A and B are shown apart, each in its own frame.
Chain A
Amino acid sequence: MTTAHGIQSAAWLLIALPLLSAGVLLVAGRRADKWAHVVGAAVPVVLFGYAVMLFFSVKGEGNREINLHLYSWIPVAGFKVDAGLLIDPLSMVFVLLITGVGSLIHIYAVGYMAHDEGRRRFFGYFNYFIAVMLLLVLANSYLALYVGWEGVGLASYLLISFYYSRNIAATAGNKAFFANRVGDVGLSIAIMIMFAYVGSTSYADVLYGDTQLTKGVATAIGFMLLLGACGKSGQFPLQTWLPDAMEGPTPVSALIHAATMVTAGVYLIARSAPVFDVSQAARTAVVVVGAITLLYGCVCGCGQDDLKRVLAYSTVSQIGYMFLAVGLGPGVYAIGIIHLVGHGFFKAALFLSAGSVMHAMNDRIDMRRFGGLFRVMPITYGVFVCGYLAIIGFPLATGFWTKDKIIEAALDKGGTSGWVLGVVALAGAGLTAFYMTRALVMTFHGERRWEDDVHPHEASRSMTYPMIALGVLSLVGGYLLIFGGGLQHWLTPSVGPSVEEGVHTVSTLVLTAITLVVVALGVLGGWVAFGRKPVPISQPVGVSPVTTAARRNIYADAFNEMVLQRPGQWLSRALVYFDNRGVDGAVTGLAAGFGGGSARLKRTQTGFVRSYALSMLGGTIAVVAVLLAVRFQ
C-alpha cells in the first residue's frame, strides 16, 4: 500500500466534480435548460480523460494499491473512520468502465432526451449517479462504500420513477427501493459485525489486517454481504425489481440497470474475497445464488414480449454468471470481473439500440408490433447484431472470450457440483442464444407489424455514434481484455492470480466446441420458432405451462405477493384493528366510563339544602358509629 502522490492526489475530483455539476443542474432551475445537457455530458468525458491518466499513473507504480487519505470522518473515542479512497487495479477497472461507458451513454442521452421537458433534471440525476457510483468503487472502507451504495440506490429510484406522473413508473421505483432496502439491511449488518469483531471497517483492517476472522464470523459477514449484493444486483431471491426498473428512460436502463450499478454486487464480493476465502459456506451460497439466477433470468427472458424486459432478464442472468464466477473462488474472480466489463459493453450496446428502436416507434416497446426494422434502421440493427453476437458468445466476439471461461471454470471445479454448475452454465448459454435470437428476429426481421401511426427512422448522430462505439467494443472488447491475460494480470494484486493453466475437466478445445454446438442449437431453435412463421400480434393463448410461467417471471412476483405482501397486509390490518379497538378502545372506554359515572353522580346535587343537611347528619352518625365501634370493640 503506497500513499497517493502527483496526479493520484486529485482522485477525489472523480467524486466531487460530478456531484458539483449535479448540484448545479438540479438547483439552477429552468434557466439552465439551454446548456444543462452540454455540462451533464461533458463531465463524464472529462472524468474519463482523467481516469485514463490515473490508469497510466497507477500502472507505473511498483505497488499498485494506492491509498488516498482525505480526512478523518468519524473520530469518536474508540471508533475512528477515515474517509479515503483506494485506487487499486480492481477499482481502476470499475472507474474506467463507469466513466467510459458512462460518457458514451451520456452523449447518447443528449439525443435521446432531446424532446423531453425533464432533460436538465435527467442529467442532474445522471451526474449524481456517476458521483456516488465512483464513491462506491473507490471507497477504502465498507462504511464509505455503504454511503455510495445507498447513493446509487437513491439515483436508481429517482431515475426509474423519472416519469413520476405515470403510475407504473412510480410503482416500479418503489419496488426497486424496497427490494434494495432488504439487501441494504444485510450490508449494514455485515458492517456492524465487522466493527464488533475487528473494530474497524476499512478494507485494510478487515480484509488484510492483523485480526484473523474466525470461520463463524466470516460466514456471518459473507452471508450478509451476499444479501446486500443480491439486492443491488437483482439476484435471486431479490431479483424481481430489476425487470420493472425498465420503466425509466432507456439510457438509465443501459447505464445503471445493465452496465454499472447492478454489477456493484459482483464488485462487493470480489472486493471481499478474503472473507469468502475463509468461509466455504458463504462461497457455496454465492455459487448457488448465481446458478439459480442464471437459469431463472434465461427462462424468464424467453417469455417476454417487451424488448427492454428481455434485455433486463438477460442482465439478471448474465450477472448470475458473474456471481457464479466470483463464487467459484480464488483464480476465478478475475474472470467474473472480465465478464462484467464485457457485459458492460455489449449490454449497453443492446440497450442503446433498443432505446433507438423505441425512440423510432413512438416509445412503443412491444416486440410483437415491431418486425422488419432492419431495412429502415440499418445502424441500430448493426449495433444490435454486434451486441447479439457478443452476448451469445459467437466466436471471437466478447461473450466467446468471457462467458466460455466461466463455463470452463465451473466445470473445472470438479466433482459432482462442478458438473452440475458446468451444465447449468452451458444450458444458460443455449437459452441465452434462444431468447436473444427471438428478440432479434421479432424486432428486426420478418414482416412489418407496426401500428399505423408509426414512421420509424434512424436516430440522430448523437445517438448513433455512441451506439457504434459500443457495438465495436462488444465485438472486439472481449479479445482486448483477455489478450495475453492482460486484465487477469492487472487484477492480480486485488483478487489474486488467475488459474488458467490448471487441469481442465474437459479440454478447452472440446468445451469450446460443445459450447458452440449448444449456442448454435439455441439460435436454430429461436429461428425455427419465431423466424420461419409470422409472429402473432397478440400473445398466443393456450400455451404450455412453461411459457406461462416464463411470461409471469416464474411466479416470483406472485410468490412475493402471497408470502410477503399479503401476510404483511394482514398483519398491518390486524395491527390497525388492534389499535382502533384495543388501544383506542381502552382509552375512549375509560373516558366514557368516567363521563357516564360523573353524569350519574352529579344527580345527587339536587339543590335542596335539607337533603344536604341529611347527608351531613348521616355522615356524622356514621363517623361516630365507627369511632364507637373502634373504641368498644
Chain B
Amino acid sequence: MTPTYYLVLSAALFTIGAVGVLVRRNAIVVFMCVELMLNAVNLSLVTFARVNGSLDGQIMAFFVMVVAAAEVVIGLAIIMSIFRTRRSASVDDANLLKY
C-alpha cells in the first residue's frame, strides 16, 4: 500500500480543523474542529504504524483517543456553563481573562 493518500487526507483534515479553530466563533464548532485535528493526527499515526510494521503508532492513537474523550467531557461541561451564564457560545465573548 502507499501511505500517500492517507497522509494527504490526514493533512487535509488537520488543515480544515486548524482553519476552523481560527475562523469560527461558535465554541461547539471550534471544539469539533479540535477533534478533527486530533483525529487527523490519529490517522497519520496509524498510517506510519502500518508503514513501519510496528504497533507503537497505533498504541499512541489509542492514547490520543482516551485523552480526547476525557477532554470532550470537560470541554463540553465548560462550554455548557459558559453558555448558561452568558447566553452565548461565542469564544470571542469569553475574553475576561486578559491584561
Contact stretch, chosen from B3-11, B50-58, B61-69, B88-96: B88-96
CA distance A613 to B97 in the complex (A): 15
Q: Hey, which chain A residues are within 8 Å of B22, CB to CB?
A: 610, 613-614, 617
Once the chains bind, are B99 and A608 in contact (CB under 8 Å)?
A: no
Once the chains bind, are A607 and B18 in contact (CB under 8 Å)?
A: no
Once the chains bind, are B99 and A613 in contact (CB under 8 Å)?
A: no
Q: Hey, which chain B residues are within 8 Å of A610, CB to CB?
A: 21-23, 25, 30, 91-92
Once the chains bind, are B94 and A606 in contact (CB under 8 Å)?
A: no
CA distance A338 to B92 in the complex (A): 104
Once the chains bind, are A607 and B95 in contact (CB under 8 Å)?
A: yes
Q: Hey, which chain A residues are within 8 Å of B98, CB to CB?
A: 605-607
Q: Hey, which chain A residues are within 8 Å of B21, CB to CB?
A: 610, 613
Specify which of B23, B25, B30, B95 is in contact with A606 (CB 8 Å cutoff): B95
Which A588-608 residues have a C-beta within 8 angstroms of B? 602-603, 605-608
CA distance A467 to B68 in the complex (A): 112
Once the chains bind, are B99 and A602 in contact (CB under 8 Å)?
A: yes
B78-89 contact mask (Cβ, 8 Å, vs A): 1 or 0: 000000000000
Identify the closest chain B residue to A602 (Cβ): B99
Q: Hey, which chain B residues are within 8 Å of A602, CB to CB?
A: 99
Q: Is A609 engaged at the interface, CB distance under 8 Å to the other chain?
A: yes
Identify the closest chain A residue to B19 (Cβ): A617
Q: Hey, which chain A residues are within 8 Å of B92, CB to CB?
A: 608-610
Q: Hey, which chain A residues are within 8 Å of B23, CB to CB?
A: 610
Q: Hey, which chain B residues are within 8 Å of A608, CB to CB?
A: 91-92, 95
Identify the closest chain B residue to A608 (Cβ): B95
Q: How many Å from the CB of A403 to the closest CB on chain B?
A: 90
CA distance A609 to B25 in the complex (A): 10
Identify the closest chain B residue to A620 (Cβ): B18
Once the chains bind, are B91 and A607 in contact (CB under 8 Å)?
A: no
CA distance A286 to B51 in the complex (A): 105
Q: Hey, which chain B residues are within 8 Å of A614, CB to CB?
A: 22
Q: How many Å from the CB of A95 to the closest CB on chain B?
A: 83
Once the chains bind, are A609 and B94 in contact (CB under 8 Å)?
A: yes
Q: How many Å from the CB of A396 to the closest CB on chain B?
A: 101
CA distance A617 to B37 in the complex (A): 12
Q: Hey, which chain B residues are within 8 Å of A606, CB to CB?
A: 95, 98-99
Q: How many Å from the CB of B33 to the closest CB on chain A?
A: 10
Q: Hey, which chain B residues are within 8 Å of A613, CB to CB?
A: 21-22
Q: Hey, which chain B residues are within 8 Å of A603, CB to CB?
A: 99
CA distance A603 to B98 in the complex (A): 9
CA distance A166 to B90 in the complex (A): 82
A601-630 contact mask (Cβ, 8 Å, vs B): 1 or 0: 011011111100110010000000000000
Q: Hey, which chain B residues are within 8 Å of A607, CB to CB?
A: 95-99
CA distance A607 to B92 in the complex (A): 8
Identify the closest chain A residue to B23 (Cβ): A610
Once the chains bind, are A617 and B18 in contact (CB under 8 Å)?
A: yes
Q: How many Å from the CB of B75 to the closest CB on chain A?
A: 12
- A-B contacts, 18 of them at CB < 8 A, read A605-B98, A605-B99, A607-B95, A607-B96, A607-B97, A607-B98, A608-B91, A609-B30, A609-B92, A609-B94, A609-B95, A610-B23, A610-B25, A610-B30, A610-B91, A610-B92, A614-B22, A617-B18
